[in-house]
Amino acid sequence: MTPASASSAPVADVAAELAATLVAVGPRVASIAAAIAVGLFFANLAVEFGAIRRIGALAAPLARAANLPTAVGTAILATTASPTAGYGMLAEFREDGVLDDRATLVAVTINTVFGFVQHIFTFYAPVLIPILGLRVGLLYVGARAAVALAVTLTGVLAGALFLPERNVRHAADAESTDSTAGERAVDTPDESDGDAGRGERVRDSLGSTWAKLRDILPRLAVVYTLVVLLTRNVDLTAVASQAGADPLAAAVGLPAAAVPVIAVFAVDTTSGALAIAPLVPGVFTPEQAVATMLVGGVVSFAVSTFKRSIPFQYGIWGAEFGSKVIAVNVAGKVVFIAVALAILL
């Protein structure tokens, strides 16, 4: 064998393996892409026709149960469509003296599950569940929903127990303080707009779906292919063990291979889901996969706090109270994620 032919052999082997991998992952990537496309379209359609607003109507009874003015329910309703609008309304209530600091923190806590509802329609149902598969996807989204609901109910309980009249102003002017702002923040469909309006919303849904697909599909194909190549050629458990990941993984009862997945998930949720999906079943059980993603979510809080939460919350509340809002948000989620991990593992 000549040197030239010897050097070309590894290249041919790599090309052959890549071709075989593309053939293997092609149908899976195509089926995930189709599911994402359908899910995104119907999710966008639901948003266009006001599904989020109807779910947000549950906010007012929770506000009353927490001894908060009914108008606060309007702010929470706005959060289901726009967190910026919802938090902005709460900040205005605080500035106007409708809520003091303690009542505002209770309202922020109650906000949690309604902010999560928005992500169900825009990300979890149309994107994450198709990537993870029905069982793992529903288990993960259910766990995150349970965490968000637990945080919200904790806020309601705290308000019922610790918010006397002096923390809020229930007068008529409080109830009317920008009471229509939430409805302005939510794109409420006009029931009388007829076929033309409905057709426009369908077109808007298709446009939103295509824009999101263009962002997701290249990453889906690349990450899924790389993960399959990696798992075919590398023992992730052995690599993680050599890197000293065993103690960390063992502390939460996860395989050592969870550590690199957590690292990816902490940086980007979609990429993390794409990384772990081919490893279930096999390297991970469904419960271990969900636990791994939950731990990745906890790690991502540190990343997102510096990238998004601090600029956003400080911009709305100022540094002092914004820090309290961030602390309450993170602490509530971390505590109940820890409970979810204990149940899963």
Confidence of residue 145 (pLDDT cuts 50, 70, 90): very high
Is residue 115 within 8 Å of 56, Cβ to Cβ?
no
**More confident: 295 or 73:** 295
Domain encompassing residue 282: 234-345
Confidence of residue 335 (pLDDT cuts 50, 70, 90): very high
- Within-domain flag for 147: no
Please give the pLDDT value at position 141: 93
**More confident: 150 or 208:** 150
Tens-digit pLDDT profile for residues 242-293: 444 456 566 777 887 888 888 787 777 888 888 888 888 888 999 999 998 9
- Within-domain flag for 319: yes
Q: With a cut of 50, say whether residue 6 has pLDDT above it.
A: no
Please give the pLDDT value at position 184: 42
- Within-domain flag for 139: no
- Within-domain flag for 317: yes
pTM of the model: 0.70
- Within-domain flag for 303: yes
Average pLDDT over all residues of the chain: 74
- Within-domain flag for 271: yes
Please give the pLDDT value at position 146: 94
- CA angle, 235 then 239 then 240, to 5°: 115
Confidence of residue 142 (pLDDT cuts 50, 70, 90): very high
- Within-domain flag for 12: no
- Within-domain flag for 295: yes
Please give the pLDDT value at position 79: 72
Q: With a cut of 80, say whether residue 147 has pLDDT above it.
A: yes
* Most confident among 8-12, 162-166, 260-264, 323-327 (mean pLDDT): 323-327
Domain count, the chain: 1
Please give the pLDDT value at position 157: 93
